Every structure is written in C-alpha cells, then in structure tokens.
C-alpha cells in the first residue's frame, strides 16, 4: 500500500481535524455526568464527535479512491474495505471502524435519537478508537 498516490496534504488536514476534535472531547471527559448533560456541553460533544468521524471517513474515502478497482460509496462498506485492503487491521475494521461508521450515520441522520447518556459513555470510553485508527493511517504516510 506504500505506493498509493494519496494526497498527503488532504490526509494530514483530516488528521489535524481528528486530533483537534479529540483534544476538545478529552477535555469533556472530566465533566460530571450532570455537567455533560447540559445542552451546550452535549451539543459541543456531538459536534466534535461528528466532525472527527467525518474526517475519519474522508480519509478512508480518499485512500480507497486511489486503489484500482475499489469503489465504495457507504461508510460501513468503507470500513470493511479498509481492512480488506490491509490499510488497517481487518479485525479493527470489521468491529470498531464498522461501528464508528454506523454511529456517524446515526449522528447525521438520526441525531434526534442520540441521548446525552450514550454520548457521555462514548466520550468516556471510546475515544481511543480514533487513536488506533490514526496510528495505522500515519504508518501509511
């Protein structure tokens, strides 16, 4: 995969978005559940989580678009293909990245169903998934 003609500038810009979003989300880990549930904090967490997820799948779309014969137009399919192409570990792609794709879709299309409690749990327990993803993308660069 080293000889893919990826645009490093695009990838690095998206990595920066993810890292900046994670910085904000990690600060929110210190909030109590009550503080987090305040409308403005919940809205900020939702924004930064969606922003980070969009950047993850922008990276996936860019990389996959450079592989001859690969065409994916859905985020969950992108997740699976990233593992199939050995860009990230297959297990991580099929389990974690696939779930991240589903959550991105939920935040975008079913945002009205997302509860402050579940968002709090994600911020407290799942931000490391972004770090794992970034570690593998940085190897590609």
| Assigned token pair, 64 | 């996959």
Position 111 scores a pLDDT of: 86
Position 141 scores a pLDDT of: 86
Range of the domain at 127: 8-140
Residue 102 belongs to a domain = yes
Residue 1 belongs to a domain = no
The DSSP 8-state label assigned to residue 111 in this structure reads G
Nearest CA to 103 out of 72, 125, 135, 136 is that of 125
Position 137 scores a pLDDT of: 97
Residues 73, 75: Cα–Cα separation, whole Å: 7
CATH (domain of 105): 1.20.120.580
What pTM, to 2 d.p., does this model score?
Answer: 0.93
- pLDDT, block means (10 residues), the chain with 141 residues: 78 98 96 91 95 97 94 94 96 97 91 90 96 96 86
Domain count, the chain: 1
Please answer whether residues 97 and 83 qualify as being in contact, where contact means their C-beta atoms are separated by less than 8 angstroms.
yes
Residue 3 belongs to a domain = no
In terms of phi and psi (left: phi > 0; alpha: psi -120 to 50; beta: otherwise), the region of 46 is alpha
Residues 70, 34: Cα–Cα separation, whole Å: 46
Residue 120 belongs to a domain = yes
């Amino acid at each position: 995969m080293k000889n893919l003609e990826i645009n490093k500038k695009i990838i690095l810009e998206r990595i920066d978005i993810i890292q900046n979003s994670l910085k904000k989300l990690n600060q929110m880990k210190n909030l109590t559940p009550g503080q987090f549930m305040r409308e403005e904090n919940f809205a900020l967490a939702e924004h930064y989580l969606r922003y980070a997820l969009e950047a993850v799948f922008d990276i996936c779309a860019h990389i996959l678009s450079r592989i001859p014969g690969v065409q994916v137009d859905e985020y969950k399919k992108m997740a699976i293909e990233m593992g199939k192409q050995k860009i990230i570990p297959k297990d991580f792609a099929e389990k974690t990245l696939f779930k991240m794709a589903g959550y991105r879709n939920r935040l975008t299309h079913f945002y009205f169903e997302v509860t402050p409690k579940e968002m709090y749990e994600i911020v407290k327990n799942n931000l490391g998934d972004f770090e794992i993803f970034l570690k593998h993308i940085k190897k590609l660069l």
